[in-house]
Structure formats: C-alpha cells, structure tokens
Amino acid sequence: MRAYLKALGIAALALALSSQAAFGAWYTARGSAPIIDGDIAQARRGAIDDALRNASLQAGADISVEQILENGTLLNERMQVRARTPIRHMTVIEEQEDGRVVTVLVKALIDDSVGSDCYAGNIKKTVLPFVFRYEDPSASLTAAGMEDFDQYLSNLIYSGIAQSPALTVLPSDNARLLITQSRSSGPDYNLQRTLDSISRRTQAQFIIVGSINSIAKSDVGKNAFTKMLYNPTRTARFNIKVFDVYTGSQLFSKDYEGDAEWTLEPPFTIRSNEFSSSEYGQRVQQLAKYAIADIVTTLRCHKPNARIVQVGADTFKINLGSNENIQVGMKFTLLHRTDYQDRHNQTYYNYDNSNVIYKVVAVSPTSATLAPANIKQQVLNVMLDDLVTLAN
C-alpha cells in the first residue's frame, strides 16, 4: 500500500511538472523604482512592475504598465494583472531598499505561447536605430551641463529593445535622418528614397528615429525663501518614430514626457550612479521603459516584408532566411513595385499586392527560395526589387 501511494505521489508530481512545463517557462529579472515622498509601498509596486516588464521582454511577450496595474488574475496581495497577460505567477525572491530606490528580483512564470499569438511574431525583424538627436537648436540649448544625454538615452532604449527575441537590433547609426513634417497629404518622396537606400545598405526591415524636444531645467521662482524650500525641476521630453524601410510607411510615432526634481550639481556624469539613482534619472529610465514596451509591441506582430534578390526560371530568392526563423512551407504574397514620376519630376514608387501565393521550398541562413503555391502560376511576372509579405 505504501509503495502504491509513493508511486501515485511520484506520478502526480510528474504530471504537475509536465503540465507546468507545457503551461509556461520561468524567467528571472530585476527591477527598480524611486521612492517618492517616502512612499515605499508605491516604489515596491513600481519595482515589481519594472521587473515584470524585463521578464516579459526576455520571453517575447507584449506587456505594458496598464496590464500590470489593472484588475485581473491575482499574483499576490499587492500586484494584479489583467487576465490576458502572459504572466501566470510571480514571486519576489529578493528585495532591497536604500532610502532612495527599491530594487527587487522576481521569478515569473510566463505563458510560453506568447510568441504564437500572432503568426508574424515568430519571424525576427531586423531593426536599425538612429542615435537620438535634438529636435532643434532651442532643444539643444536645454542640454547645457547634460553632455552625452542623447547617447545615454539612445543606449538606454535600444539596449532594452535588443532584449526582445523577436528583434535583431543593428548598431546605432550616428547619421542625422531628417524627418520633415510636410503639410501636404502626399508621400514624402525624399524620405522614401532615403529609406530605400537604407534597406539596400543594411538589410534592415525597420528603422527607429528618436528626437529630444527638451531636457530644460525650471527654477522654482525668484523668491530666495521659496528656493530654500523647493528644488528646481527638470523635464524629459522626446519623440520616437518607427518606419518600414521597404514601403516608406510610418508605423508608430509617440511623444514621451515627464519631469522630476533636479538636485544634481556639477561635476557629475550622465552614466554615473549619482545620476541614475536621482529622481530625474529614475524618471528618464521609466519613460525609456514605456518606449521599449511600445516599440516591441508595435514590431513583434507586424508583418515583415522581404526583398526579391534573385529570380530564376521557376523560383526566386528573398533576403530573409533561417536567421530570421523563415521555415520551409511558409507562405508569402507578392508585392509588385512600380516606379513613377510626379509633375515635378520627383521619382517615387508604389507597391501593389498581387494576391498570388508563393511558398518557401528551401532555406539558407540569409535567404529563402520561394515557388508558386499553385502549379498553374509562374514567376514570369516576378521582378527584382519586388517584395513579398507574409500571408495570413
């Protein structure tokens, strides 16, 4: 009888472990948040939120602060998430508080089906980020005493999105990419040609362009007594745009803004612990994490395009391969490129979906070979510089 119960217990344990393994995977991540107005409980929630964001990025999940802080599945007595979140269980295994910042280490069980909720999410996207630039001379003037803030913000955000297994992030481009705000409703031909050149040079599918609008410091007033009681504040305001380099279309544009008390006095460096642990440094890091989550969510499930680089008698090749998780049997539709000239002799192009299905028949690390899915179709109308896009 004892042997039977022991065997039953082992079977139950094995079943539980196997079901848990099928249910998800465990991820460990750190998070931190500043203590504001002495509210340690709020800082702890913010630190857990930060850690769960980092864990979700490791798992390739889409998660935002709203998902964590709204009602839904109960994680513990202080943290709740929406039912649709991929995080199924969470435990705080380490916690530290130094009077200014709360830091936690969490272990989270994340649904391993998060990468399959969209077909395109299984294909890695190559992203070329551009180093953040100041929007205009007035924005640049606000950076006095904050040298290298543009590089700091670039590294903060781009290293964050590089944690996502859905993205391959190329080294940052130091060029200044001018994005003009045209008043007309027509396409920006100059930008289209620039993006087309970038796609050929780098094989990137998407680019990220960041601009800093202001990091100005605001004094608390001219009254000496007021200055004794209150610290000045500093703002952080920046914009991020994401473009599809093949089609020239803008996929995402969002402004991020916040402010915090400014207590730092020179000399200090942007990359010092003094800056990163300050209220302002923590605020910048928080905004960066919001931006990271938005960018990953935008690109992970976006349908990738690929350029046709070789055309044969019965097949053609595209510039995506097994490095991007392209597999034999995947299906794509053909996008025909047509070049035009407007009345000002400006060259531009459009892509038209042919709705003809082609499937992958062979894959190498950097390319894939496609053939018509229907034997009645041919590749006679397929041209170099045409695109294919992932079929539903």
State pLDDT tens for residues 241-271.
Answer: 999 988 888 899 999 998 888 888 878 888 8
63 or 107: which carries more pLDDT confidence?
107
CATH of range 123-300; options 3.10.129.10, 3.40.50.10610, 3.40.50.620, 3.30.70.260: 3.40.50.10610
Q: Which helix (H) or strand (E) holds 371?
A: strand 368-372
Q: Is the peptide bond before 129 cis (omega within 30 degrees of 0)?
A: no
pLDDT value, residue 59: 72
Quote the CA–CA distance of 326 and 358 in Å, as a whole number: 13
Q: State the residue for tokens 């107005």.
A: 37
Q: What is the model's pLDDT at position 268?
A: 82
CB 190 within 8 A of CB 182: no
Distance between CA 253 and CA 247 in Å, rounded? Answer: 16
> Which range among 28-42, 80-94, 233-247, 287-301 shows the weakest confidence by mean pLDDT?
80-94
Of 53-62, 99-108, 135-144, 330-339, the one with minimum mean pLDDT is 53-62
pLDDT band per the 50, 70, 90 thresholds, residue 46: confident
pLDDT at 23 over 80: no
Structural domain spans, the chain? 22-111, 123-300, 305-390
The per-residue pLDDT for 62 is 59
Q: Which fold has domain 22-111?
A: Dodecin subunit-like (3.30.1660)
Measure the N-to-C terminal CA separation of the chain; round to a whole number of Å.
56
CA distance 266 to 274: 11
- The answer on pLDDT for 220 being more than 70 is no
Mean pLDDT score of the chain: 79
Q: Are strands 250-261 and 217-218 parallel, antiparallel or unpaired?
A: unpaired
Residue 178, classed as helix, strand or coil, is coil
Considering only residues 372 and 114, tell me which one the structure prediction assigns the higher pLDDT: 372
pTM: predicted TM-score of the whole model, two decimal places: 0.72
**Contacts for 21 with CB less than 8 Å, ≥ 6 apart:** none
Alpha helices in 60-206 (DSSP H): 65-69, 137-141, 149-161, 189-202
Domain 305-390 bears CATH identifier 3.40.50.300? no
Binning pLDDT at 50, 70 and 90, where does residue 164 land?
A: confident
Flag whether pLDDT at 276 surpasses 60.
yes
Q: Render pLDDT for 318-349 as a digit per residue (tens, 0 to 9).
A: 999 999 999 999 999 988 887 777 777 777 77
